[in-house]
Structure 1
Amino acid sequence: MASYNCREFDFIASIFGSKICLFVTINMLETYDKTTGMECGSELLKNQFLFDPAYRNLNHGSFGTYPRSVRDALRQSQDECEARPDAYIRYAYPKALDVAREAVASLVNAPVQTVVFVPNATTGINTVLRNITFTEGDIILYFATIYGACEKTVTHICETTAAESLKIDYTYPVSDDALCEAFEKAVSQVKAAGQNPRIAIFDTIVSLPGVRVPFERLISACRQHGILSLVDAAHGIGHIPFDLTQLDPDFLVSNCHKWLYTPRGCALLYVPERNQGLIRSTLPTSHGFVPLPTGGAPINNPLPPSTKSAFVVNFEFVGTVDNAPYTSLPAAVEFRKAITWQGKSGEDAIMSYTQDQARKAGKLVTKILNTEVLENAEGTLGNCNFANVKLPLDPTMLAGGETGKAVKIAQWIANKLVDEYSTFIAIIFHAGAWWVRLSAQVYLTMEDWEWAGNTLKDVCERVSKGEASE
């Protein structure tokens, strides 16, 4: 049975110049019974999250969010830290962190000694790349749809080390076979030039457009060629099933705050024991770093000694920051276990519902807009929680074929969605057209996506009338 708590009053004061605006939201909170669960798409489940009633959260994939029970766990960790700072940070926190590591390791079927936490996937990618010692002739392979911050990381590495890079170009939609063949050609090209393909970076699911990548095949291809595989699974854990023991990548980083319902920032960094010797430093370098022997006096470490591996200890304390998002992860895992859908529960229910919703939402919105979903002939791009829908806009008429103007129109649409429609939908100009990325989630229903389709239709009509150019 569901039970009802007293009304919760949230008072948020916002100051604009000399004016003070007071917003009052009143939520009738429904608490869930772990024995009966919460069905996907139900009001009971939606009410566990902290949304403004006037806001539709249609872009979960960018920054994620978390439910009230996880917020409570977050605040409890923070309160424990503030109650006894030294006792908590030096002694209690490492134990709580181990519990969180055990929880996430179990979820992805990885040995607990291979998993640590970093704030986000970008930090994880940087941590790996900046630990690799590159020599003349070493090549970093990456794909055209790499996340922008990671491509800039590669650029900086190539500016400051002996490494060079090779981007594998293509335009979606492409088949999985075509993408893997492009990778093989790139490897052959590098080797034919007498160079060494040292490491390859690729996604599990591309950010924009939001499409699934045949990462399993690419990990295998890297293994066959002796290339280090660095998997950017920013959209990974909580989104698609993971078995890291079976996949066996050389490095993998996955945001937990996007799809697993942990607070920001929290990401899993997986490094199998065979490669942990390569990751000598965190980012930034902190007390866990072990310098090469020089014969000098050891550098003082003010933290308590530990019997854990050097790799685990290295990432346990990386400067003084709020690590409560990490220790909140077990609460997120427990919350997810109570979610149900059509007789399924936990991860199976969540992933089944969201992927089914993404496919249906894509069809519904394309019907409203009379356009199409971005998909390949095999139908593999949409095997995730995203659907990419083309907007009914003429790029030649509106942007004259200029990418810069097209991007400005995309920015105008994004701003209008936030300012006038109280929502946000990610948008990209790709392959000569504007596409929106629909992001399915357990607290959304098809009614939300029908509203989204009609809203996008209205905004596109405004763009066609020239509003975005004013």
Structure 2
Amino acid sequence: MSSSELLTPFGAPMLKHFLFEPGWRNLNQGSFGTYPAPVRDALRKFQDANEARPDAFFRWELPKGLDVSRAAVAKLLHVPTEECVFVKNATTGVNTVLRNLLFKEGDVIVYFATVYGAIEKTIVSLSEMTPVRGLKVEYRYPISDDELVRRFEETVTKAKADGLNVRVAVFDTVVSNPGIRFPFEELVRVCKEQGVLSLIDGAHGIGQIPLDLGKLQPDFFTSNCHKWLFTPRGCAVLYVPLRNQHLIRTTLPTSWGFIPDPNSPATQPSVLPSGRNPKSAFELLFQFVATGDDTPYLCVPAALEFRQTVCGGEDRIYEYMENLAREAGDVVSLALGTEVLQEPGLKPGEVSRQRQCAMATVRLPLAVSDHDSTTRTAYPVLKTTDALAAIDWMQAVMANKYKTLAPIFLHGGWLWVRLSAQIYLEKSDFEWLGGVLKVLCEKVGNREMDEESRGDV
């Protein structure tokens, strides 16, 4: 059988490979991801091997399997294997980097207003426990990439003029909310010019957009494999180039691979292999991080094999998802009489760079303000507390009554919905969603939210 004969058409035919409950439309790949049956089978195989011989598995089989998976993910990112390790999720990856850096008085971490909430909380936590403080680049969408980069440069320049040391900048590949592609390539360039460490939170990166870290050369990068690459949860890659590996001396939690300072007191000998082991201290650091289920890490080769043999390869997947996300945004915005979020001032026929990903963000016809507002909308303007209640109600009704969910959130004085394209979805799924959202918006706008229709989710 030729490789082309193994391919499954994208859209509804692809559903046969996935594990969804009958009738469930999975329109939110971006939050938690999912994986096909062949990857589930690989996961069960590794878990069974773990239970069959726990000691042998943890001591010898797991490290070998990790090396195979690290090589596979490194090839996809176009970097050496020794620069890639696994952590549980991108939040852990960002925390691992930031909590390894030694901060001094006057150090700052620059981040952006649309940063993932857990990462902002991480920066605040660090400011409570170390001399570092966070410096936020303020803005709201719609905004152009050029303006984002300009504001970043301006923030760094001003901080330096104020006598501060911009130690590291944290930014996304694709923002979580709104779901929009970020100018991470240009920001890495600016960081290099400014002498600032670049830390890319690529939670929505690997498996959704092409990535060439060998060419880009950020200082640190982390990305969830379980969101878009079809591995089980939790599985994320952490990339640290050789030039920066000396900065990373502990995992979270600190475990047997800890690399102590030469002046630190002696501790118990490590349980990790020693002597003739060819791996670096950085690689061994992440080989065994406390006892847990690391079998999702071992499933990267199975996920990549599915993407190649059943889907036709990475480029084919990226193209389908980007085109579907564009269609999805257009049909939902048409149903609601609103617009898709993108950079302002695009000329007719000009392609939106911010929409070159597998997510689209559409404005709902529901404005939000706690003050007197002149915003023109078909419905009364919501107070923030009412808007938050409406978000909870709409998402619960979607899940309970309609067997789907698309995240709704507040940004820039409006409610928005984030759409995730995926290979098992097609345009008709989003045409259907547009009708559902229109009904829900009408009920919210007319103050007809019904607890009974919310149900018990």
Q: Which residue of 2 aligns with 1:424?
A: 405
Q: Which residue of 2 aligns with 1:382?
A: 355
1:152 corresponds to 2:125: no
Structure 2: distance between partners of 1:414 and 1:153: 27
Unaligned runs of 5+ in 1: 2-32
Q: Which residue of 2 aligns with 1:392?
A: 365
Deviations 1:308-334 (A, max 9, x none): 100000001000000010001100000
Q: Which residue of 1 aligns with 2:313?
A: 346
Q: Percent identity?
A: 51
Deviations 1:244-285 (A, max 9, x none): 110100000000000000000000000000100000000000
- What TM-score do the two structures reach when normalised by structure 1? 0.90
| Distance 1:421-1:296 versus aligned 2 partners, 3 A rule | closer
In the alignment, residue 426 of structure 1 is paired with which amino acid?
Answer: P
Structure 2: distance between partners of 1:34 and 1:329: 20
Contact kept, 8 Å, 1:40 with 1:350, in 2: the verdict is no
Aligned-residue offset at 1:39: 3.8
Structure 1: distance between partners of 2:94 and 2:53: 34
Aligned-residue offset at 1:392: 2.2
Q: Which residue of 2 aligns with 1:195?
A: 164
In the alignment, residue 62 of structure 1 is paired with which amino acid?
Answer: S
Aligned-residue offset at 1:296: 5.3
Q: Which residue of 2 aligns with 1:23?
A: none
SS at match of 2:109: strand
Structure 2: distance between partners of 1:156 and 1:270: 23
SS at match of 1:391: strand
Aligned-residue offset at 1:295: 7.9
In the alignment, residue 292 of structure 1 is paired with which amino acid?
Answer: D
Contact kept, 8 Å, 2:366 with 2:381, in 1: the verdict is no
Q: Which residue of 2 aligns with 1:30?
A: none
> For structure 1, which segment, 147-156 or 364-373, has the greater mean C-alpha deviation from structure 2 after superposition?
364-373
| Distance 1:133-1:295 versus aligned 2 partners, 3 A rule | closer
1:335 corresponds to 2:306: yes
Q: Which residue of the other structure, out of 13, 26, 29, is the alignment partner of 1:60?
A: 29
Deviations 1:336-367 (A, max 9, x none): 00244xxxx30011000000000011111111
Aligned-residue offset at 1:457: 1.0
Aligned-residue offset at 1:45: 1.8
Contact kept, 8 Å, 2:13 with 2:424, in 1: the verdict is no
| Distance 1:327-1:296 versus aligned 2 partners, 3 A rule | same
Structure 1: distance between partners of 2:31 and 2:86: 19
Q: Which residue of 2 aligns with 1:412?
A: 393
Aligned-residue offset at 1:132: 0.4
- What TM-score do the two structures reach when normalised by structure 2? 0.92
1:457 corresponds to 2:402: no
SS at match of 1:133: coil
Contact kept, 8 Å, 1:38 with 1:45, in 2: the verdict is no
Q: Which residue of the other structure, out of 401, 414, 434, is the alignment partner of 1:433?
A: 414
Q: Which residue of 2 aligns with 1:283?
A: 252
Q: Which residue of 1 aligns with 2:60?
A: 91
Q: Which residue of 2 aligns with 1:314?
A: 285
Q: Which residue of 2 aligns with 1:69?
A: 38
Structure 1: distance between partners of 2:207 and 2:54: 32
Deviations 1:36-77 (A, max 9, x none): 233443444211000011211000011100000000000100
Q: Which residue of 1 aligns with 2:454?
A: none
In the alignment, residue 412 of structure 2 is paired with which amino acid?
Answer: A
Aligned-residue offset at 1:399: 7.2
Contact kept, 8 Å, 2:366 with 2:441, in 1: the verdict is yes
Q: Which residue of the other structure, out of 284, 295, 298, is the alignment partner of 1:324?
A: 295
Q: How does 1:110-149 map to 2 (within 5 A)?
A: 110-149=79-118
1:214 corresponds to 2:156: no
CA RMSD of aligned residues (A): 1.6
Unaligned runs of 5+ in 2: 347-351, 370-376, 452-457
In the alignment, residue 330 of structure 1 is paired with which amino acid?
Answer: P
| Distance 1:143-1:324 versus aligned 2 partners, 3 A rule | same
Q: Which residue of 2 aligns with 1:231?
A: 200
Q: Which residue of the other structure, out of 428, 433, 448, is the alignment partner of 1:447?
A: 428
Q: Which residue of the other structure, out of 355, 359, 366, is the alignment partner of 2:322?
A: 355
| Distance 1:399-1:92 versus aligned 2 partners, 3 A rule | farther
Contact kept, 8 Å, 1:339 with 1:349, in 2: the verdict is no
SS at match of 1:201: strand
